[in-house]
Amino acid sequence: MSLSLPHALAVWRRDAAMYRRTWKLNILPNFFEPVFYLLSIGLGVGAYINEMGGTPYLVFLAPALVCVAAMNGASYEVTYNIYVRLTFEKAYDAMLTTPIEPDDVLAGEVLWAVTRALIYGGCFFIVVAAAGLAPLPGGLWILPLLPLTGLLFATIGLVFSLRIPNIDLFSFYYTLFLTPLFLFSDVFFPLRERLPAHWLWVAEVLPLLHPVRLARRAFQGEFSPVMLWDLTYILAVSAVLLLWARRDMDRRLTS
């Protein structure tokens, strides 16, 4: 097995060509979801909250929702879309008649999921900035975080998608994994302040918590050692899952 970047980019371009055709349909639900949360929870519920984590509630919420948008962008891509390409469209069967190899397919797909995370997170960041909720230029530090969030959720989703026997199981992924993550990963309230001391480690296991914490620090313009741990978590978990996905991808494509 070997990776060829030009071939991986050809895979990426296939997805981009398809996306150009359907982006209006795709982007609306993905993108508006965090907008609605910002309006409903941020403005609605936020009106009854003086401050959270030392800032006005909207300012607390906004950077976290940027990460959520990135998470959603990557997740849709590596769940339904990958599954359809793999089992119904047989897109990879066609690719593997050319010099493209399974490693290139994996790299191209991960790259594309990261791109979508960047598109969704980036658009949402513009909304947040336009609403005056992002400190500029310091808040721009959130941007390099978007591909990292994309990478993390691309690898998590891929490992799931490559192993499930049928498409219905994605509802488990969304309702039993992504939704609880969204609700409990420091997005709406600081989880650590609500957990008993001996359960604190649970918070650290949640993947979304780390990008959210980093994003909030980026908006606050503060740097602290815990950010190194957050970065390490994201990179290490992504790397391990990527190796796992690589094995599964090879098995699925070359039986």
Partner 1 sequence: MIVRLRSVSKIFGSRIAVNALDLDVPPGLCFGILGPNGAGKTTTLRMVYGVTRPTAGSIEVFGLDLKKHLRAVRSRLGVTLQQNVFIEALTPIENLRVFGRYHLLREPELSRRIDEVIEFLELGSHANMPVRQLSGGFQRRLAIALSLMNRPELLIMDEPTTGLDPAVRLALWSRIRELRAHGATVLLTTHYMDEAQRLCDRVAIVSDGRVVDEGAPGDLIAAHLAPEAVEVDCTPEEESALLDGTIRAARRLRVGRRVTFYLSDAAPLVERVRAADHRRPLVVRPTNLEDVFLALTGTSLEAAA
Residues contributing to the site for partner 1 (CB under 8 A): 2, 4, 6-7, 10-11, 13-14, 17-18, 21-22, 89-91, 93-101, 253-255
In whole angstroms, what separates CA 132 from the centre of its chain?
24
Smallest gap from residue 74 Cβ to partner 1 (A): 21
User: Which is nearest to 125 in space by CA: 138, 111, 108?
Assistant: 138
Smallest gap from residue 87 Cβ to partner 1 (A): 12
Smallest gap from residue 251 Cβ to partner 1 (A): 11
* Contact partners, residue 17, CB within 8 Å, separation at least 6: none
Smallest gap from residue 12 Cβ to partner 1 (A): 10
Smallest gap from residue 139 Cβ to partner 1 (A): 37
Ramachandran angles phi, psi of 225, nearest 5°: -60, -30
* Contact partners, residue 149, CB within 8 Å, separation at least 6: 67, 70, 71, 74, 117, 121, 211, 234
In whole angstroms, what separates CA 186 from the centre of its chain?
15
Whether residue 137 is preceded by a cis peptide bond, meaning omega within 30 degrees of 0, is yes
Q: Which is nearer to partner 1, 22 or 171 (CB)?
A: 22
Q: Which is nearer to partner 1, 94 or 228 (CB)?
A: 94
* Contact partners, residue 233, CB within 8 Å, separation at least 6: 204, 207, 210
Q: Which is nearer to partner 1, 51 or 93 (CB)?
A: 93
Smallest gap from residue 33 Cβ to partner 1 (A): 24
> Could you give the CA distance from residue 64 to residue 216 in angstroms, rounded to a whole number?
7
Q: Which is nearer to partner 1, 76 or 182 (CB)?
A: 76
Four-point Cα dihedral 95, 98, 102, 106, nearest 10: -50
Q: Which is nearer to partner 1, 17 or 47 (CB)?
A: 17
Smallest gap from residue 80 Cβ to partner 1 (A): 15
Q: Which is nearer to partner 1, 93 or 222 (CB)?
A: 93
Tokens of 90: 């047989």
Q: Which is nearer to partner 1, 7 or 116 (CB)?
A: 7
CA atoms 196, 197, 202, 207: torsion sign: positive
Tokens of 156: 């998590």
> Coil, strand or helix: which one is 96?
coil
